[in-house]
Amino acid sequence: AALLAAACALPRWPVDGPLTSPFGVRFRGLKPDVHRGVDIAVPVGTPVRAMRGGRVRFAGTMAGYGTVVWLEHGSSVLSVYAHLSELRVRTGERVDGGQIIALSGRSGDARGAHLHFEVWKGGREVDPVQMLGGPPRSSR
C-alpha cells in the first residue's frame, strides 16, 4: 500500500499525446511570444488527469485560457490545464493524482483541439517536460 501511495504522489502527464508547442519563447510571425506551458495535441473530449494530488484553486473560465483548472499541490507547486471542454471538479475540491478533472477541448484562444498545460513552482513557470522527467510517451 505504501508503494502505491508513493507512486500516486509522483507527477504524471495529464494526457498522452504529441507535444505541438514547447515551453518558452516562440514566434508568431516575427513577434516573439512567451509560452508559459506546453501544448499537447489530443482530440476534444479526451480525459484530463491531475498531475498530482492537491486542491482545486480555480475551476472556471479565464480570458485566453477558456475553460481552465488550476490545482495547488503543496510545496508552492501549481498546475494549470486549459482550453477544456468540460469540468469534472469544482473550486476548493480535493483531488487525487491521476483523477479525471476535465475533458480536453478548444475553448479560449485555442488554435485547434489540444491541452495547454503549465507547471508553476515558487511563483514561476517551469518547463513541464523537465518537471515530469521527459515528454509524454507518444512524443518520445
3-state secondary structure 68-124: EEEEEEECCEEEEEEEEEEECCCCCCEECCCCEEEEEECCCCCCCCEEEEEEEECCE
Structural domain contains residue 133: no
User: Which pLDDT does position 132 carry in this prediction?
Assistant: 87
Structural domain contains residue 104: yes
Structural domain boundaries enclosing 41:
12-123
User: Which pLDDT does position 45 carry in this prediction?
Assistant: 98
Structural domain contains residue 135: no
Structural domains in the chain (count): 1
Tens-of-pLDDT digits for all 140 residues of the chain?
Answer: 444 444 456 689 999 999 987 777 666 777 777 778 899 999 999 999 999 999 999 999 999 999 999 999 999 999 999 999 999 999 999 999 999 999 999 999 988 999 999 999 999 999 998 888 888 877 65
Question: Model's pTM, two decimal places?
Answer: 0.88
Which CATH number covers residue 17?
Answer: 2.70.70.10
Structural domain contains residue 132: no
User: Which pLDDT does position 140 carry in this prediction?
Assistant: 57
